[in-house]
Structure 1
Amino acid sequence: MKCASLLGVCLWLSLCVSAEYDHPAESEVSRFLRHLDIIPDVIETGPQDFLNVTYIGNIPADRGVQLQPMQVRDMPDLKWIANKDNYYTLLMVDPDVPSRKVPKFKEYLHWLVVNIPGNQLNLGDVRAAYVGALPLKDTGLHRYVLLLYKQPDFTKFDVEKVPQQNDEGRIKFSTKQFAEKYKLGIPLAGNFFTSIWSTDVPALHKAMFRGHVE
């Protein structure tokens, strides 16, 4: 009986170890993304690594930190470990448009760069020019998600170029559908920050879109 009992314990331990191996623990970045429901609102499965995102003034956009719209007005500096022979896609979205409670226009595409050779972002093909955080008044906290995908190869993207001053092609973007269409798989790296309306937003919007917003 003792031998049988010991055998049962050993088998149970073996199954536990096997399950742990087959289903590795969720990454730290995935836990952060899940904490604010970016998983599953934007993606189903999180990346293994954090994307290094730094705005002018050495301001990190990391792990949901709240930043002011003025702080993220200009394109950030991004760093990631890459193979020079691979191509990558970078995107930034806000799934909370016009608000997290009523996201009827989600997602809003803030930035899209495809066919980035290695980690040379400046050599990538910009399909949606960068637009910073412009949350509307009384819409609460917005989540801004940056994701990096490794492409299967150099890819022909059927996406019209969207200049900075244009909203067309940005509203109702779907990260999940985009990744599925171009076989991008699970994101390689990611990060996010949050932001809320400030008195700077009307001026920022007017300067960027040549129009007024409250």
Structure 2
Amino acid sequence: MSRLLRLAFYFLLAENIMINFMVLAGDVTPVIRAFEEYNIVSDVIPKAPPCLVKVKYPSGVQVYLGNELTPTQVRDEPSVTWNAEPDNYYVLAMTDPDVSNLEYPIRREMQHWLVGNIPGSNVSSGETIAEYLGSAPPPSVNRNRYVFLVYQQPDILVFDEPRISNRSAENRDWFSIANFAKKYGLGDPINGNFYLAQYDDYVPIIHGILNQNDN
């Protein structure tokens, strides 16, 4: 009888492990797999986030793990939500790791949006370090990756980064979200998402605004 009970116990344990594995595979694996497939792991961060952050633009489009959107569609600041604890604080970052030019023909990172000290997922109540800047890839490239990452802060933080207007490109270039996370003890990202974009007719408008204010 005791042997039957032990067998029944092991069967239930194995069944629970399988159920948990299936849940994880359904909810977590697509994010990790996409971040690895598009080389965001290694190019941007050392470890993929386990969960998705939801990003929706006023134009109606939504970001989902490498779908292609246009600079026109993503010109305005999106709404961003994730499963946040209301008593915790978070950092939200949007970065482009595919910036290059003729002088420096190597891949480098540019920050497009950076907000810290976000209470729960209330981004508008956070501390904006870099205001939102939409996608503006040059016509000479195929598609750039635009990556959203959420980090949980250990506590309220004091950020000594320069504050950046959405009308300026100054201090956005040569950024590293991995170094930023290390500097402030954020650990690995807990949520992520990304889209691809290539040049369209809205890009010259963005560059015109940035050049006018940075010169």
TM range (shorter): 0.7 to 0.9
Residue 163 of structure 1: aligned partner: 165
Structure 2 CA distance for aligned equivalents of residues 193 and 103 of structure 1: 23
Select 2:50's aligned residue among 36, 48, 73: 48
1:104 is displaced (CA, Å) by: 3.0
8 Å Cα contact 2:167-2:209 kept in structure 1: no
State percent identity of aligned pairs: 38
Residue deviations 1:31-69 (CA, integer Å, cap 9, x gap): 101111011100111111111001113211111011110
Q: Distance in 1 between matches of 2:100 and 2:151?
A: 26
Distance in 1 (CA, whole Å) between partners of 2:172 and 2:142 is 20
Q: Which amino acid aligns with 2:55?
A: V
Q: Structure 2: which amino acid aligns with 1:192?
A: F
Query: Structure 1: 5+ residue runs without aligned partners?
Result: 1-16
Q: Distance in 2 between matches of 1:169 and 1:208?
A: 12
Deviation of the 1:115 alpha carbon: 0.3
TM-score (norm 1): 0.82
Kindly indicate whether residue 63 of structure 2 is the aligned counterpart of residue 61 of structure 1. yes
Q: Secondary structure at the match of 1:71?
A: coil
Gaps of at least 5 residues in structure 2 are 1-16
Provide the alpha-carbon RMSD of the alignment: 2.2
Measure how far apart 1:209 and its partner are.
4.6
User: Contact between 1:69 and 1:197, CA under 8 Å: does it hold in 2?
Assistant: yes
What are the Cα deviations for residues 46-97 of structure 1, in whole angstroms up to 9, with x where unaligned?
A: 1111110011132111110111100000001111111111000000000000
Whether 1:173 aligns to 2:167 is: no
8 Å CA contact 1:33–1:39 kept in 2: the answer is: yes
Distance 2:60 2:82 in 1: 17
Q: CA deviation at 1:103?
A: 5.9
Post-superposition shift, 1:105? 5.9
